[in-house]
Structure 1
Amino acid sequence: MANNAMQLLYICITLSAFAWAAPSANEDDLNQDTPYMKELLRQAKAAEIESFMDQKADPCGDFYTFSCGNYERINSAMSMQVVTTGVFETLTNGLNRKILKMLNTAHDTHDSPEDIQVKHFYESCLRIRELNSTYNQKLRSLIAEFGTMPVLKGSSWKEEDFDWLGTTARMAHRYGITPVIGMEVNKDLASNQRNRIYLGQQDFPLEARSMYVDNATAIYRQKYRFNIQRTLQRSLGVKMELAKKTARELMDFEVDLAHGLVDESEGLDLSEMTELLTVGEVHRRYFPTLDINRLISISMGETITDQIYEYNKRYQENLVEVIKRTPKRTIANYIFFRLIWEFVETPSDKPEKQKQACVDLTKKFFAKNLDNMFYRRYNNEKSSREIDNMWRQLKATFNETLRSSSALDWIEPATRKLAIDKLEAMTLEVNNYAEDNFTEEFADLNLQSSDYVENVRQTSLLGAKQMREMLHQPAKPFEAGSQLSYTPANILIENTIKVPVALLQPFYIWSDVYPNAVMFGTLASLIGHELIHGFDDSGRKFDAKGNSNDWWDERSSGNFLERRECFTKQYGRYVYDGIQLKESTSQSENIADNGGMRLAYTAYRKWFDSQMPGNLAKETLPNMPYSAKQLFFISFAQIWCNDAHPSVKALQVSTDQHMPGKFRVIGSLSNFDEFSKEFNCKAGSAMNPSEKCLLY
């Protein structure tokens, strides 16, 4: 059901959740196969592309401004009252419209029994106000399952009766909720046909270490603290002054814990963050403060004899010290607050806003069900064929590159051979869950439209039970919840690229009436980005079978690290909204941006050169004075046209492993000679610097 942070150890995604002009809510009506409609769609695409461009800007000075200079004015995040705008937000909005339509439609012939239960969950969210005074009591009943919460008991709360580790373990066993220290069952990194336990940091609501420790993100900590206070007041009936004091204590405790989180700018790979040990070995590291034997046996409901993975030892080492210096009362309040946090939803006064919030919550718990429901209703064979065709062309092109003795001469022949083996084994699939047995998965659920808290409780009970059972079952395909609903992803542990169902929607970035230059610049660049992830900082540590295995020889690995340093320096020089970007060791996303764009262009050029002149008539767009190859680069740039609300720009820099859209464009294209050739950029110009970074 819902996913956990440690699941994301072995997934590389194209972008963060950070608008294009989009089809209307009646976009299905556009799908008319007539010459008139085809020409109309081509003209609409040309008008859209031109509307975002600032054609007075010098493409050799700043290609992002040239391609996206008017985007911010048309799709202002501030005026739209959203966090960010961009192509993926637009794709998600289109998907959400269809999901809303599905969820708000009376049960029909498309609905399976499981679909109906998902609709009941959504309906219970819409009806949350009907719980009224019983909401508070339901949350207090959840707390009572595990003990008493000091802020509710006052002076009658007895510190000596509280066992924080046992309470956390019982919550993990019953509901899969893991305050303070986390544990889950997932695929074994080194042998992906089986599952193992992973022990490590809890899920953090603000997610990244920088959100808890950087001065630039202090405002988000203040907002989160206020949300804690408001939840204590509204949902548990705590008086304002006590709620304010308790919220401050809980926030300070969480910040203290977060100092043990991984600093993502260090670029640590999986082998440096995980260690395979016996339960006893982990236990001895942290006893007596952390009784790992007891934590795991209670959480799993059995004694574990297999080895487990310890993730991010730094977190557990910090946790030991934090527990020693923190009052038990604070720890207890924190653990019980994190329990009810999973069940709290504040209804909106605006019906449309409430509907969207309930769609988001339904996605949180049932993302794959919604993707499957969408696929069964809106499956577009044309888009599936386009994606498959792109994939075959990209694989063939990169295969040729790997086999070339000159193109990648910095990789030794033996390692290149292993890279070819990995590429040939790599697969691509649309993330539609068509093979999942939802009837089996929902066997223990009875979701009703009247009680949101009970529905979340049932769903959490089932999720915890299913996770425990995974330990004794063969590994199943990797899931990452709603992450995989809106962005392509390379699942490193499976050597598989997953394409979201959102990309099946026509006219946003693809259509068979658009020039191939547009298709390759957008769709192929995105898929190429994911392909290159299989050979970047993290991906190169997984082999053809998807197992964690460093298959690179020493010389080739040294050359990789030396070339990566060029990207570290290049992207560390950029300044975004007055903020100097961090010089991060991790360059996975920048490597994938550069390599994916180059790969897509090489594949497009091969296709272009193989065509008879008469077949290239549609390779330009009506009334646009750009060649087909120039149109490729403009289309690529416009994937990353975006605007961010001023209040989140510092957040974007602090937490996102991806560059802001502007630098994803100018960084990649300024490294590419073919781009400079097509736009006649003089040597030494901003988009054609003398020093260029190159890996793939």
Structure 2
Amino acid sequence: MEYSGMLPLLLLAAFSVAGAAVTHPFATNYTNDILRLAKAAHIKAYMGEDPDRACDNFYDFACGNWPRLHPARIHNHKTNYLEELQELYIRKSADMLKSSARSADSSADRILKNFFNSCCLQANDTRSALTTVLLEATDFRGGWPEIRVPSWYQYEYDWLKVVATLKRQLGVDIFIGLDVIVDYKEEHMHRIKLGAPALPLGQRRHYLDGRYQGTRDLYRRSIQQKLMLYFPEQSKQWLKEVSEQVLGIEEQLAQGLPHNAALTLEQTTRQRTAADMKSAYGSYVDISRYLQLIFSDTLYVDIYETPEDYLSNLVDVIRGTPKLHLANYTIWRTLDFLDAARIPQSVQPDIWCIKLTQRHFPQQLESLFHRNYNNMQMINELQSTWTDIKRVFREDLQASERLHWLSQETRQKAISKLESLQLQFRSHDDQQLIRKLHGLQLQAKQFYPNLLAVLQWETQRRLAKLMQDPVAEDRVLHKLPHYELKSNKIQVPITFLQARFFWDPAYPNALKYGTLGVLLARQMLHGFDGEGRRYDAHGYQNNWWDYTSESSYARRSQCFQEQYAIFVQYREKPVQDKQLLRRIVADNGALDIAYRAYTKWLKNSAETMASYQRERLPLLDYSNLQLFYLAYAQLYCSDYPETLERYEELPEQLRINAALSNSQQFTNAYSCSSGSALNARFKCTLY
């Protein structure tokens, strides 16, 4: 039976019925039946064709059909199940911003709606982008050389002033990359990071290695095609010359990039003053003047220069390149930067525009979403599941049998840290968000003037951070629950609180513990792993483990390291997971803890035939315990594009199968024989 076509119809029926007011008991039961049927179809649609593979490759058993339904080759990036939660957030937000203005809308809400709606109307108006923003809002002394002013005089062209102006107005980095970052040495202050901009092809080898000549040819042709879109009246010869100039300059710039792309910021950075850099690079690349033009002030601060060889190479590029070519490259990079807002042919305009809105106004969109889709039931379920997860782990710490490798003293400190560990639901101060947007005026039908205003507003806020203390805004906004070492809290984003994605009262609780329970347990265990043990219950850096516990942890984690050591490549591509041990410790521990939390809940619930029947689903001939593992595995259904060069994280298939091979409960649930691939003879355990 083909379920992929059936799935949208079932879900539509389910949500339509569930959305109606239900008061009669018969209607309630009917609604629950529809929701359960839809969820079962949803699970079945992703499963592979061979049910006998469960004990040999459970990931393929649970997610075998995912690549066909969500192929990475179409999106040209990784697809995965958890990202579907973000897609649901995007679709709901688009519907929300399409609605007409209301009297209850704040000024921030109106700005979001104007930006979104103007994007849907005008984002593909290339003439507006060219004339309203590129040629009018930025002064190129008459526009693109030899297009609007054939008598362009190169001696008047001041490349440094032009790129500094563009950085200040639009935030675009050309020739010089500049950002204000939290100082990685002293986290209480900001620092200027200055050096190489992000080049379109990325790493040095993509520009200079002969093996990537095909990639460079494709890139050059894409430049020609985009130029033709904006300048259809220009000759093929002009299009060819400019595209060759762009690629040629970037090949020269790439010579200043590190040979080893895996080096960290700390490894490729040196700390210098603007005066030092002025002395080093002189008038060809006058860093003091560049910073003065951007900040309207002379800066006497230390700067992080990265990578170390880039600016000295830039001096050679500026010295040896005709000014006409520098001007062509500068305007091309600006045009390409603005063109990123244009809606791709393969994407629906409203989906593209809501993602653009999210990129520029992430907190404001979350706040509006929360006010429109506030789901207290989901918050209550998360809190309830979290209580059960904590209870299981607390009992483990209190009993000496299960975690006997931890000393009594360390276990007591672990209990203290666990008691302090809380869920924190991310929220925003609406009045503060309104104040942040003060002075930003957007029109409902003028997208590119709106985009220009937003870019200027964003850039000024980003540059102003240099004189401000770092605050929570500087932290990465995670899409899923995330444990923070320095606060000892699990941050839960608003977008995570969406009904019927992980759980609904109509679903079996096996699904809730296999998804929400596992995700919460994973984050919890990050507070008690090799890195988390260095931070105490209050988030202060303080190693609270004794030597005996540390030694025992190292010995037991060695089992995992040896077990996972074979995963150095996947599908003939290298796996380079820098957080591998943290990941596998959390994977294995969370699966076991969530499973035991579920079985404890099941034991404490009314043990009747009806309750056990509720823990199963139609269409799926699986027990409640088997459903728990199905839900867990499908959390990580993924597909990778063929263009991927290496895996930065352990691929999901390896993560799921290896964790299950260590679980005796999984072996029992699916009756795996002793010779099965997922019934490991020696099972690694830690938490």
* TM-score, length-scaled by structure 1: 0.78
Quick one: percent identity of the two aligned structures?
28
Trace 1:267-346 onto structure 2 (pairs within 5 A): 277=271, 279=273, 283=277, 287-288=281-282, 292-305=287-300, 313=306, 315-321=307-313, 323-325=315-317, 327-329=320-322, 332-344=327-339
In the alignment, structure 1 residue 514 sits paired with structure 2 residue 502: no
Alignment-derived partner of residue 140 in structure 1: 135
SS of structure 2 residue aligned to 1:471: helix
Alignment-derived partner of residue 359 in structure 1: 354
Trace 1:479-558 onto structure 2 (pairs within 5 A): 484=478, 486-490=479-483, 496-532=489-525
Distance between the aligned counterparts of 1:347 and 1:370, measured in 2? 21
Distance between the aligned counterparts of 1:234 and 1:537, measured in 2? 54
Kept in 1, the 8 Å contact 2:518–2:594? The answer is yes
Instruction: Select 1:114's aligned residue among 101, 108, 116.
Output: 108
Change (3 A) 1:563 1:461: farther
Post-superposition CA distance 1:16-68 (Å, at most 9, x none): xxx98683398365246623322332233233323433353321111012222
Give the superposition deviation at 1:150.
5.8
Distance between the aligned counterparts of 2:415 and 2:158, measured in 1? 54
Alignment-derived partner of residue 663 in structure 2: 672
Give the superposition deviation at 1:249.
4.3
Distance between the aligned counterparts of 1:372 and 1:242, measured in 2? 48
Q: Which shows bigger deviation, 27-36 or 507-516?
A: 27-36
Alignment-derived partner of residue 388 in structure 1: 383
Distance between the aligned counterparts of 1:413 and 1:304, measured in 2? 55
Change (3 A) 1:106 1:190: same
Trace 1:34-183 onto structure 2 (pairs within 5 A): 34-53=28-47, 54=49, 56-73=51-68, 75-77=69-71, 86-128=80-122, 133-138=127-132, 139-144=134-139, 167-183=162-178
Distance between the aligned counterparts of 1:560 and 1:476, measured in 2? 38
- Structure 1: which amino acid aligns with 2:507? Y
Q: Which shows bigger deviation, 458-467 or 397-406?
A: 397-406
- Structure 2: which amino acid aligns with 1:468? L
Distance between the aligned counterparts of 2:37 and 2:114, measured in 1? 43
Distance between the aligned counterparts of 2:370 and 2:657, measured in 1? 36
SS of structure 2 residue aligned to 1:184: strand
In the alignment, structure 1 residue 250 sits paired with structure 2 residue 224: no
Specify every segment of 5 or more residues in structure 2 that has no aligned partner in the other structure, as ranges: 1-5, 23-27
Change (3 A) 1:106 1:592: same
- Structure 1: which amino acid aligns with 2:43? I
Specify every segment of 5 or more residues in structure 1 that has no aligned partner in the other structure, as ranges: 1-18
SS of structure 2 residue aligned to 1:202: coil
Distance between the aligned counterparts of 1:408 and 1:249, measured in 2? 64
Give the superposition deviation at 1:443.
0.8
- Report the number of matched residues: 661
Change (3 A) 1:210 1:233: same
Higher normalized contact order (CA 8 Å, seq sep 6+, divided by chain length): 1
Alignment root-mean-square deviation, CA:
4.6
Kept in 2, the 8 Å contact 1:201–1:316? The answer is no
Alignment-derived partner of residue 7 in structure 1: none
Q: Which shows bigger deviation, 109-118 or 226-235?
A: 226-235
Instruction: Select 2:635's aligned residue among 631, 639, 651.
Output: 639
Kept in 1, the 8 Å contact 2:577–2:648? The answer is no
Give the superposition deviation at 1:633.
1.0
Trace 1:311-460 onto structure 2 (pairs within 5 A): 313=306, 315-321=307-313, 323-325=315-317, 327-329=320-322, 332-344=327-339, 353-398=348-393, 427-435=422-430, 437-460=432-455
Q: Which shows bigger deviation, 518-527 or 631-640?
A: 518-527
SS of structure 1 residue aligned to 2:177: strand
- Structure 1: which amino acid aligns with 2:32? K
Distance between the aligned counterparts of 1:411 and 1:298, measured in 2? 59
SS of structure 1 residue aligned to 2:500: coil
Give the superposition deviation at 1:687.
1.4
Change (3 A) 1:101 1:560: same
Instruction: Work out which of the two has the higher radius of gyration on C-alpha atoms and give 1 or 2.
Output: 2
Kept in 2, the 8 Å contact 1:568–1:584? The answer is no
Give the superposition deviation at 1:261.
6.3
Alignment-derived partner of residue 3 in structure 2: none
Kept in 1, the 8 Å contact 2:14–2:35? The answer is no
Distance between the aligned counterparts of 1:263 and 1:403, measured in 2? 48
Alignment-derived partner of residue 654 in structure 2: 663
Change (3 A) 1:51 1:462: closer
Distance between the aligned counterparts of 1:563 and 1:580, measured in 2? 24
Kept in 2, the 8 Å contact 1:181–1:202? The answer is yes
SS of structure 2 residue aligned to 1:57: helix
Distance between the aligned counterparts of 2:651 and 2:510, measured in 1? 24
Trace 1:545-624 onto structure 2 (pairs within 5 A): 565-566=561-562, 569-575=565-571, 579-587=572-580, 589=583, 592-611=586-605, 613-614=607-608, 618-622=614-618, 624=620
Distance between the aligned counterparts of 2:556 and 2:624, measured in 1? 33
Change (3 A) 1:207 1:611: farther
Change (3 A) 1:159 1:664: farther
Change (3 A) 1:160 1:689: farther
Distance between the aligned counterparts of 1:164 and 1:552, measured in 2? 57
SS of structure 2 residue aligned to 1:185: strand
* TM-score, length-scaled by structure 2: 0.79
